[in-house]
Amino acid sequence: MARLSPRATLAFCALLFPFAAQGQADVPKCRYAEVGSLPLRYTGPGLALTTEGSINGTPATMLVDTGAFDTVLTKTGTERRKLFMRATGHYARGIGGSATIYQARVDEISAGPTKSGRTWLPVLADFGFAPSFDAIIGAPFLLQADMELSLATKELRFFRPTGCSDRFLAYWDEAAMEIPFEGNSGRSPNPQFTVLINGKKMRAMIDTGAASTVIGRKAAERAGLKLDGSGATRLGDSAGIGAERVAHWSATVETFQIAEETVKNAEIGVLDWDGGVDILLGADFLRAHRVLFAMSQQKIYLSYIGGDPFGQRRKLEPWLQQEADAGNGDAQMVLAQIYRAGKIVPQDRALAASWLEKAARAGNPQANIISGREMMLKGFPEDGAARIRSALDKLPSNHDAALWLYIARVRSKQLELAKTELAAHFARNEDKAWPEPVADFYLGKMGEEALLKTAAAQSATAKARTCEALTRMSEWHHVHGDLARAKALSEQFRAGCGRSESGT
């Protein structure tokens, strides 16, 4: 993530942890004082590491991201609270290209024991997905003190040392490895250090915002990995900051070495991306290790605690099952998708449906969108609308859900409510991006021909958007009683796009 304006970040960081200095000047020996902690949980479709905070007195889910250069809000956070945003004329760059930066004024923002008063904060508007989190807590917040990360206990702990400059600080393991810092990007306190991949030196960084470990394509090729060979598998595309998606592979490296630890035949992700470092060590690596960022000593303490240190979620991992069994609705949603797809486990649609219902009842927004749409198509539009509405309250930037809610309302004979909700939703779409033209068609502001012309305007997205427009128009005509036109559009879709998914 690119460097944002420091003013808002400093306003937040200025009142972070209440680090007490009293009584320290006369202490003759090392005193390693815990000064704060944050609980962690797995959240969202990617089961990202988050913590709970608040914005303007309302609960907020915050991504814990040592790979981020600032603390920022997302449109999920601003839209849920109807915060006023103003343009800055600046952009951030991430995996998905550039993202527009806005600013929003908050009266109060807090995370754990920390709190800041009224300030303007940067807002990232463009992701390749609708963020499930309201804000991103970046490295300047997280690494202002020594920070210990333990995913075994799902917590961050912060320490202030006194008289400990030459003392061993990994209090939990006398055999913990010590890895010296080798500088940083100059834009973030997150330290970089050296690892070896197939014997080649690589610049590495721990990124708590990454679900799994990834290496950049150029670095992978430097390590001798052949992405078009039998040792690599194309996984699809990955999204992040920015609207674009980048190619993603899984590849096996013969050896990965960090300090005295060597992992053989490690399965690591490869992205067609150049982020300033060669490799990002993500949450998979962190689940197998206990880590202390000793900022006071310019080193990292690292202990292996068991388990596979690398994983691209190409098998059902024990931690995921444990999260689902413990009632984590987001993990339950992931299990529903896994059993429905049948790629890493035998396909079991009944079990998938069971996990989907559990996830929906636990409040997972994706589960409520999917199950709500299914209810609508099965003839229960009121129940379906209720679930989709609850999902939109959590993911207010999910445009697909807003369009489906309109259809569910019309099926429920609530035409005026359907129009009002849809218009209100897209009124907050500052960049007027797709699929707003579909909403304009639904609301009578645009005709079929104009919608199809708009859908085909950009060659890179022309086919996908044209096919979506045909499906959406068919569905609209169906719920408004013009079955002949709905059928004609569905046939046009099948001729140019494949099987219709409109349910009409």
DSSP string, 282-307: -HHHHHTEEEEEETTTTEEEEEE-SS
> Which pair of structure tokens corresponds to residue 447?
């005709």
What was the pLDDT predicted at 12? 46
What was the pLDDT predicted at 125? 78
pLDDT band per the 50, 70, 90 thresholds, residue 4 = very low
Q: Which of 9-13, 186-190, 291-295, 310-314 is predicted most confidently?
A: 291-295
Q: Which residue has the higher pLDDT, 127 or 122?
A: 122
pLDDT band per the 50, 70, 90 thresholds, residue 124 = confident
**Helix/strand/coil for 98:** strand
- Asked whether the predicted pLDDT for residue 259 surpasses 60, the reply is yes
Strands (E), 56-174: 58-64, 72-74, 85-94, 97-106, 109-111, 114-116, 119-124, 135-137, 146-150, 155-162
Please name which of 92, 79, 82, 81 lies closest in space to residue 122, comparing C-alpha atoms.
92
- DSSP count for the chain of H helices, then E strands: 16, 23
Helix axes 448-455, 462-479, angle to 10 degrees: 150
300-330 tens-digit pLDDT = 999 999 999 997 677 899 999 999 999 999 9
pTM of the model: 0.85
> Averaged over 242-263, what is the pLDDT?
88
> Which pair of structure tokens corresponds to residue 285?
């690596």
Same CATH fold assignment for domains 34-150 and 173-304: yes
Q: How far apart are CA 160 and CA 230, in angstroms?
A: 49
pLDDT band per the 50, 70, 90 thresholds, residue 131 = confident
Percent of the chain with pLDDT over 90: 73
- Asked whether the predicted pLDDT for residue 487 surpasses 70, the reply is yes
- Asked whether the predicted pLDDT for residue 158 surpasses 70, the reply is yes
Q: How far apart are CA 281 and CA 256, in angstroms?
A: 12
Tell me the pLDDT of the chain averaged across its residues: 89
Q: How far is CA 240 from CA 49, 78, 130, 489, in A?
A: 15, 19, 10, 34
Q: How far is CA 442 from CA 129, 374, 388, 500, in A?
A: 23, 21, 18, 19
Please name which of 296, 301, 367, 307 lies closest in space to residue 331, comparing C-alpha atoms.
367
Radius of gyration of the chain (CA): 24
**Helix/strand/coil for 31:** strand
347-388 tens-digit pLDDT = 999 999 999 999 999 999 999 999 999 999 999 999 999 999
What was the pLDDT predicted at 18? 44
For 48, phi then psi, to 5°, come to: -75, 155
Q: Does domain 34-150 have CATH number 1.10.260.30?
A: no
Q: How far apart are CA 291 and CA 152, in angstroms?
A: 11
8-44 tens-digit pLDDT = 443 444 334 444 433 444 545 899 999 999 999 999 9
pLDDT band per the 50, 70, 90 thresholds, residue 428 = confident
How many C-beta neighbours within 10 Å does residue 254 have? 15
Of the given ranges (80-84, 200-204, 425-429), which has the lowest mean pLDDT?
425-429
Query: What DSSP element (H or E) covers 478?
Result: helix 462-479
Please name which of 251, 247, 258, 335 lies closest in space to residue 289, comparing C-alpha atoms.
258
> Which pair of structure tokens corresponds to residue 173?
């393991």
CA 235 to chain centre: 18
Q: How far apart are CA 122 and CA 74, in angstroms?
A: 9
Domain ranges of the chain: 34-150, 173-304, 315-362, 363-413, 429-503
What was the pLDDT predicted at 115? 84
Q: Does domain 173-304 have CATH number 2.40.70.10?
A: yes
Burial 238-251 (b: 16+ CB within 10 A, else e): bbbbbbbbbebbbb
Beta bridge partners of 87: 102
Query: Peptide bond before 28: cis, by omega within 30 degrees of 0?
Result: no
- Asked whether the predicted pLDDT for residue 83 surpasses 50, the reply is yes
Q: How far apart are CA 71 and CA 64, in angstroms?
A: 10
447-472 tens-digit pLDDT = 999 999 999 999 989 999 999 999 99
- Asked whether the predicted pLDDT for residue 230 surpasses 90, the reply is no
Query: What DSSP element (H or E) covers 214?
Result: strand 214-216
pLDDT band per the 50, 70, 90 thresholds, residue 91 = confident
Are the CB atoms for 37 and 150 separated by under 8 Å? no
> Which pair of structure tokens corresponds to residue 240?
């992040």
Beta bridge partners of 256: 197, 263
Q: How far apart are CA 166 and CA 183, in angstroms?
A: 19
